[in-house]
């Protein structure tokens, strides 16, 4: 009897350990290359389809052109969201430089990418700049955490600091900074990389499952009557694990319908872990009547109570025209959708692109409208899923065109993150 009780206690502990694994889920983070160089524009942030994670990569590199030629080295990175040799595997690239060719495909399959390191050449002054030359990726299934797979890029510069995901996380998204072709001036191409790390408990839970199965088999061997209750208990735990894992990792992006498409995408910005957008503020240039209007120039999101001085504020790209307006708050609710007011291309007339934005709140059936301008029309509502709140933003902004017609903000991408207590009023108490 003592032996049976001991084994049952051990089994309970194992199952409870397994059931508690989900507690690590939901802390998506970004890991970014140290900015040794900083030329070019950030491309659009791209994420693997839900439930998929990066398992392979490929580099686009321009070969060494020899002395007195303009080298660009690494031009682009592809991430494969699954087995890279399957034709149906989703592929991410963010921005692709125009020089060079795609090289070998490198695979971590059945493991996952969980860190990276860039080889970057520092600024060369009057010499030829190449910026990023190569990349190493770390994998969950290599013999040690310090082992990596090195790409087939070039060898100028030095290896930078290693950027690792947290334990139980793998790479799920990418954004790259790429300098476009500069004509007769010195070219580089890829300069910096941002990668998103998402919790993937299942990647490390197999050992816990094996231990539970062994202990359950041992207990059932002593008394077969335990089989039914153990099966029910374990299935319940597995269901709870599955539901919580899905709930914690189903981040989605919502994007403005593309009415205009001028400018470059800024860097994706996310609220600190455990915080979500609860207010916003717009930077708008007033109507200049006969002058060149740009209307909406930037959007700030407040990751918490906007009246608190320690609340984090995130912004992607800021246009140079106009002034910051009023702060609009959903607090204690959360932003969970938006509609963008944008003006169609005006041909030979004055273009303004995005003019204003409405943000939807979790604690009201209506929306809060910003203090932008009124040219154009409202887009369809872009809403997060139920029990989600906005946690990140990326904007496309056209910078000053000099004597040419200016716009500023053109499009918006917002990230929605699962937040089971999205209607809670206790977060800032």
HEC string for the chain: CHHHHHHHHHHHHHHHHHHHHHHHCCCCEEEECCCCCCCCEECCCEECCCCCCCCEEEEEECCCCCCCCCCCCEEEEEEEECCCCCCCCEEECCCCCCCCEEEEEEECCCCCEEEEEEEECCCCCCCCCCCEEEEEEEECCCCCCCCEEECCCCCCCEECCCEECCCCEEEEEEEEEECCCCCCCCCCCEEEEEEEEEECHHHHCHHHHHHHHHHHHHHHHHCCCHHHHHHHHHHHHHHHHHHHHHHHHCCEEEECCCCCCCCEECCCEECCCCCCCCEEEEEECCCCCCCCCCCEEEEEEEECCCCCCCCEEECCCCCCCCEEEEEEECCCCCEEEEEEEECCCCCCCCCCCEEEEEEEECCCCCEEECCCCCCCEECCCEECCCCEEEEEEEEEECCCCCCCCCCCEEEEEEEEEECCCCCCCCCCC
Question: pTM of the prediction?
Answer: 0.60
Angle at the Cα of 177 from the Cα atoms of 174 and 182, rounded to 5 degrees: 145
Per-residue model confidence as pLDDT tens for the chain (429 residues): 544 444 455 545 544 544 444 444 445 778 888 888 988 888 888 999 888 999 999 999 999 998 888 999 999 999 999 999 999 999 999 999 999 999 999 999 999 999 999 999 999 999 999 999 999 999 999 998 889 999 999 999 999 989 999 888 999 999 999 999 988 899 999 999 999 998 875 444 444 444 555 555 565 555 555 555 555 555 454 444 444 444 444 577 888 988 998 888 888 899 998 899 999 999 999 998 878 889 999 999 999 999 999 999 999 999 999 999 999 999 999 999 999 999 999 888 899 999 999 999 998 878 999 999 999 999 999 998 888 999 999 999 988 888 888 899 999 999 998 875 534 433 443
Bridge-partner residues for 282, per DSSP?
299
Angle at the Cα of 260 from the Cα atoms of 398 and 408, rounded to 5 degrees: 25
CA gap 247, 200 in Å, rounded: 12
CA gap 76, 190 in Å, rounded: 6
């Amino acid at each position: 009897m003592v032996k049976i009780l001991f084994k049952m206690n051990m089994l309970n502990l194992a199952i409870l350990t397994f059931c508690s694994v989900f507690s690590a889920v939901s802390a998506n983070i970004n890991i970014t290359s140290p900015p040794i160089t900083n030329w070019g524009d950030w491309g659009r942030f791209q994420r693997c389809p839900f439930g998929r994670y990066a398992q392979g990569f490929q580099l686009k590199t321009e070969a060494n052109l020899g002395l007195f030629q303009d080298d660009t080295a690494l031009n682009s990175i592809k991430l494969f969201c699954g087995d890279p040799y399957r034709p149906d595997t989703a592929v991410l690239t963010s921005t692709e430089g125009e020089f060079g060719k795609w090289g070998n495909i490198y695979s971590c399959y059945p493991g996952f990418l969980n860190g990276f390191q860039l080889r970057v050449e520092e600024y060369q002054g009057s010499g030829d700049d190449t910026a990023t030359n190569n990349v190493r990726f770390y994998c969950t299934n290599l013999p040690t955490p310090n082992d990596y797979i090195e790409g087939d890029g070039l060898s100028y510069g030095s290896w930078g600091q290693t950027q690792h995901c947290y334990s139980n996380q793998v790479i799920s998204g990418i954004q790259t900074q790429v300098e476009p072709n500069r004509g007769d001036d010195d070219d580089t191409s890829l300069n910096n990389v941002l990668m998103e790390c998402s919790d993937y408990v299942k990647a490390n839970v197999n050992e816990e499952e094996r231990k539970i199965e062994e202990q359950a088999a041992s207990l059932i061997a002593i008394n077969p009557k335990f089989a039914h209750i153990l099966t029910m208990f374990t299935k319940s735990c597995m269901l709870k694990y599955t539901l919580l894992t899905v709930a914690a990792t189903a981040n989605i992006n919502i994007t403005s319908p593309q009415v205009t498409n001028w400018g470059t995408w800024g860097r994706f910005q996310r609220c600190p872990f455990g915080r979500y957008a609860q207010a916003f503020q717009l930077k708008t240039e007033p109507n200049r009547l006969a002058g060149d209007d740009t209307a909406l120039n930037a959007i700030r999101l407040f990751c918490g109570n906007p009246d608190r001085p320690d609340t984090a504020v995130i912004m992607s790209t800021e246009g140079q025209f106009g002034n910051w307006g009023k702060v609009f708050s959903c607090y204690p609710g959360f932003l969970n959708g938006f509609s963008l007011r944008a003006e169609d291309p005006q041909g030979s007339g004055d273009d303004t692109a995005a003019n204003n934005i409405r943000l939807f709140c979790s604690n009201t059936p209506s929306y809060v409208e910003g203090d932008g301008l009124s040219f154009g029309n409202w887009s369809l509502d872009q809403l997060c899923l139920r029990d989600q709140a906005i946690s990140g933003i990326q904007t496309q902004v056209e910078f000053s065109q000099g004597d040419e017609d200016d716009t500023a903000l053109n499009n918006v991408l917002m990230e929605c993150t699962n937040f089971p207590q999205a209607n809670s009023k206790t977060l800032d108490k």
